[in-house]
Chains A and B, each alone.
Chain A
Amino acid sequence: MAHVRPIATTRSATGIPTARLAVWWILASEVVIFGGLLGVYLMHRIGHPEWAEAASHTQTWLGAINTFVLLTSSFTAVLAHQAAEKGKGKEAAKLLGFTILGALMFLMIKSYEWYGEIVAGYTITANNFWSFYYTAAGLHALHVIAGAIIMGFIAVDAYRGRELHRVEIIGIYWHFVDVVWIFLFPLLYIAK
């Protein structure tokens, strides 16, 4: 027998599809997680002007390239949504594939960058700036990994023409991951 969704899932008293409503609530909970972490970081940063010296050892150019990579991957996620709206599952799957490639490239650049930092002695315990640096960027990287994995499942479904509405949902999440990076990049890399 087929798996039948509960009637509850198909109702929409607000007029907003249930999945979209849920992803916005998930993002609300994520906002306070990152908001708390970054708020704490900011307060410490203001209280510790000497962290500027540590921050000057971050590799701004690599961060900038990563920003570009992530933004581009978000762009292909938008195109995938457009394709899914028109019912073109294969096209959407291909574009989601590009987004996943972007995520992988982001993670590779990140690993290269961290490898360089660690070899230079800037480990997570070097001082509290580096502790925040690795914690915040690491938490973000976890979100990139999780997003890419979920996107893989959705792309496979989309390729077979199934669950096309999920392309939009993962897109919303991916934009959020992007926005978090937009906050992290200036706070961790540019501010010296």
Chain B
Amino acid sequence: MADTVADVHQHEAHGHDDHHHDQSWLEKYVFSTDHKIIGMQYMFTGIFMAVIGGYMAYVFRMQLAFPGISVPGFGQVSPGEYNALITNHGTIMIFWVAMPVLIAAFGNFLIPLMIGADDMVFPRINRLSFQIFFLSSIVLLGSLFVEGGGFGGAWTSYPPLSANGDYNQTQLGASLWLIAVALEFVAFLLGGINFITTLMNSRAPGMKAYDIPLVCWMIVIASILFMLSVGPLLAGAVMLLFDQTLGTGFYDPARGGDPILWQHLFWFFGHPEVYVVLLPAIGITVEVMATFARKKIFGYKLVLYTAVATGVLSFFVWAHHQFIAGIDPRMANVFTITTLLISVPIAEMLFVMIATLYGGSIRLTTPMLWALAFMAEFLIGGVTGIFLGASGADIYFHDTYFVLAHFHYTFFPIAIIGSFCAFTYWFPKMFGKMMNDTLGKIHFWGTVIPFNFIFIPLFVLGMGGQHRRIYNFQHFPQIAGPEYFQLRELATIALLVMLAFQLVFFYNVISSWMRGEKAGKNPWKANTLEWTTESPAPHGNWPVDELPTVYRGPYEYGHPDREEDYWPQNLPN
């Protein structure tokens, strides 16, 4: 069989023949089919987009705290630019940072390594996925510079504002924005099919369902959630694009259309999307906690089952985004109940984390600090969600800074803290060097403390009734009191501090990469399979005759019968 496969593919020159001849730089790093390189491509694109998204946040926070000033590095912010900045900040941070880094980058990098395979099952589809994603990034960034400016109708893109160029004044920007998002969805559908099939079919011999590391499970469950929720929105995006360009009336009530329809389609995807990015972050955290508490995960199956339960429930909560959009109050009741229910499985996962830590011999390395911070900060995000999920309270809180602070308390731990946690934990495997722990801890505290100073004031502002889409609060004397301005300035200054501390991270990455201590195969003394190969792993991950076989679950730490406190999955005994 293998012979015929090799024979059959003689006409397809590129791909996995790369063991056999020297590749050019382009072949190796740009058009590679190696899952690790593709993962890196996703990661660096994601980091680049994160820098842009952070820059946008800096510009509009400056405008909010000091209205009308000429922002250093940008200039004066016009209302249209302000809208384009907040819209694209949200879009970039969710679709071009959280998704590519948490799912695509770590999914690509980790899944084959952790299940003991030499690559993804469809390496070339994997490459195509990244290429489409890269194209989508260019389209999105390009949309900021077209005539009329970037789209400013918020990342949720509600019609009729988004559907009609006469309303949003950014005819071309709006369409390009939509095309970029749709392309990005296609990229992740292709990637997701690869992840799911790889996990199902390509596991190392001996690896049963409950021997799979949780982070792989989480990324794959997230991919399935994404795949099942994004379809209606893709159809809806085509309809919106036709409304924008051809002049159809799908979302135009004057012509028999329905603008609320978009909200349903968007949030039917948009709310599962929260869990699409949350689950990988939880998987990463759990992985790191087990390693640095030197203890078995308290409830492996519990985490897995609650993840599935979360996934199922997440399809029945979307209308809590529309409590004041004119939906039937009886429907609002139902969605309040499902929304409050979904906090149960998530709470269980947090309890599992606490129980895993309990009695462990905890090592406070940089990745472990990130993992603990994830737990603490996400908890605040989850608890404040209860206020918004209750339809009565939401009538007051809707579209205030309270909502904004709430979802930043969920998304920041997920996308930023979770990514840093994974990045610092797997950095030795990616680059073969150890990261500087002191610099890592300075960066950690310099990120987490200012983060709280940004968003706790925004909770207060939100409870004060401040609307989240106001360009200049001086235009509204009744809510422009000095005490509010002080809070806004506090948040902005905290943001500046946090952004400044990211320089420590970049310095740390570059200096550790250049002249860090060599990492060796298994610097953390962890059990999972990626630590059994060289750091960085070669193409094909293991020599062909040394592909690992699995004998036990991934979290056998501190086993009483062994001298070592860890027990790698691939050791026969």
Are B265 and A128 in contact (CB-based, < 8 A)? Answer: no
CB of B184 within 8 Å of the partner chain: no
Are B258 and A44 in contact (CB-based, < 8 A)? Answer: yes
Interface segment among B88-96, B228-236, B286-294, B329-337: the answer is: B228-236
Interface segment among B37-45, B249-257, B462-470: the answer is: B249-257
Q: Return chain A residues, CB-CB under 8 Å to B8.
A: 162-163
CB of B6 within 8 Å of the partner chain: yes
Q: A5-B5, A21-B201, A29-B193 are in contact. Are A39 and B232 (CB under 8 A)?
A: yes
Chain A residue nearest to B208 in the complex (CB): A13
CB of A121 within 8 Å of the partner chain: no
Query: A-facing mask of B270-307, CB < 8 A → 1, else 0?
Result: 00000000000000000000000000000000000000
- Taking the nearest CB of chain A, how far is it from the CB of B266, in angstroms? 11
Are B232 and A33 in contact (CB-based, < 8 A)? Answer: yes
**In chain A between 43 and 58, which residues have their CB closer than 8 angstroms to a CB of chain B?**
44, 48
CB of B394 within 8 Å of the partner chain: no
CA of A33 to CA of B1 in the docked complex: distance in angstroms?
37
- Taking the nearest CB of chain A, how far is it from the CB of B166, in angstroms? 16
Q: Return chain B residues, CB-CB under 8 Å to A30.
A: 231
CA of A181 to CA of B421 in the docked complex: distance in angstroms?
48
Q: A6-B117, A8-B112 are in contact. Are A33 and B234 (CB under 8 A)?
A: yes
Interface segment among B74-82, B119-127, B379-387, B474-482: the answer is: B119-127
CB of B431 within 8 Å of the partner chain: no
Query: A-facing mask of B5-24, CB < 8 A → 1, else 0?
Result: 11111101111110011000
CA of A6 to CA of B122 in the docked complex: distance in angstroms?
8
CA of A21 to CA of B122 in the docked complex: distance in angstroms?
12
Are B118 and A125 in contact (CB-based, < 8 A)? Answer: no
Are B5 and A35 in contact (CB-based, < 8 A)? Answer: no
Q: Return chain A residues, CB-CB under 8 Å to B15.
A: 3-4
CA of A14 to CA of B233 in the docked complex: distance in angstroms?
31
Contact of A8 among B118, B207, B247 (CB under 8 A): B118
Q: Return chain B residues, CB-CB under 8 Å to A32.
A: 227-232
Are A22 and B247 in contact (CB-based, < 8 A)? Answer: no
Chain B residue nearest to A28 in the complex (CB): B227
Contact of B231 among A4, A6, A31 (CB under 8 A): A31
Interface residues on A, range: 35 or more
Q: A6-B123, A8-B117, A131-B248 are in contact. Are A37 and B232 (CB under 8 A)?
A: yes
- Taking the nearest CB of chain B, how far is it from the CB of A128, in angstroms? 5
Contact of A135 among B10, B119, B239 (CB under 8 A): B239
Residue among A31, A125, A127 with max Cβ neighbours from chain B (10 Å) = A125
Query: A-facing mask of B514-553, CB < 8 A → 1, else 0?
Result: 0000000000000000000000000010001001000000
Q: Return chain A residues, CB-CB under 8 Å to B193.
A: 22, 25-26, 29
Are A128 and B6 in contact (CB-based, < 8 A)? Answer: no
CB of B146 within 8 Å of the partner chain: no
Q: Return chain B residues, CB-CB under 8 Å to A86.
A: none
Q: A9-B121, A127-B256 are in contact. Are A37 and B235 (CB under 8 A)?
A: yes
Are A35 and B231 in contact (CB-based, < 8 A)? Answer: yes
Q: Return chain A residues, CB-CB under 8 Å to B64.
A: none
Q: A3-B14, A128-B256 are in contact. Are A8 and B198 (CB under 8 A)?
A: yes
Are B202 and A9 in contact (CB-based, < 8 A)? Answer: yes
Are B256 and A48 in contact (CB-based, < 8 A)? Answer: yes
Contact of A9 among B17, B20, B122, B265 (CB under 8 A): B122
Q: A9-B122, A124-B248, A135-B242 are in contact. Are A16 and B201 (CB under 8 A)?
A: yes
Number of interface residues of B (CB under 8 A): 64
Q: Return chain A residues, CB-CB under 8 Å to B230.
A: 29, 32
**In chain A between 65 and 95, which residues have their CB closer than 8 angstroms to a CB of chain B?**
none
Q: Return chain B residues, CB-CB under 8 Å to A31.
A: 231
Q: Return chain B residues, CB-CB under 8 Å to A6.
A: 16, 117-121, 123, 540
CA of A2 to CA of B19 in the docked complex: distance in angstroms?
11
Q: A2-B10, A33-B234 are in contact. Are A22 and B121 (CB under 8 A)?
A: yes
Chain B residue nearest to A129 in the complex (CB): B256
Chain B residue nearest to A12 in the complex (CB): B201
Are B227 and A25 in contact (CB-based, < 8 A)? Answer: yes
CB of A111 within 8 Å of the partner chain: no
CA of A4 to CA of B268 in the docked complex: distance in angstroms?
41
CB of A7 within 8 Å of the partner chain: yes
CA of A48 to CA of B249 in the docked complex: distance in angstroms?
14
- Taking the nearest CB of chain A, how far is it from the CB of B203, in angstroms? 5
CB of A40 within 8 Å of the partner chain: yes
CA of A132 to CA of B238 in the docked complex: distance in angstroms?
11
CB of A36 within 8 Å of the partner chain: yes
Contact of A29 among B2, B7, B21, B231 (CB under 8 A): B231
Chain B residue nearest to A123 in the complex (CB): B246
CA of A13 to CA of B196 in the docked complex: distance in angstroms?
12
**In chain B between 436 and 455, which residues have their CB closer than 8 angstroms to a CB of chain A?**
none
**What are 28 sample pairs from A and B whose C-beta atoms fall under 8 A apart?**
A1-B17, A2-B6, A2-B7, A3-B6, A4-B16, A6-B120, A8-B117, A8-B121, A8-B201, A10-B1, A10-B5, A11-B203, A13-B202, A21-B197, A22-B193, A22-B197, A25-B196, A28-B228, A30-B231, A32-B229, A35-B231, A36-B265, A36-B268, A40-B239, A44-B256, A125-B247, A128-B250, A139-B238
A interface with B by C-beta (< 8 Å): 1-14, 16, 18, 21-22, 25-26, 28-37, 39-40, 44, 48, 124-125, 127-128, 131-132, 135, 139, 162-163
Please name 11 further chain A to chain B contacts, defined as beta carbons within 8 Å, in addition to the given A2-B7, A39-B232, A128-B249, sorted by A numbering: A11-B203, A14-B201, A22-B121, A26-B193, A28-B228, A33-B235, A40-B239, A48-B256, A125-B249, A139-B235, A163-B8
Interchain residue pairs A-B with the least CB separation, the first 7: A36-B232, A32-B231, A3-B9, A6-B119, A37-B235, A8-B117, A2-B6
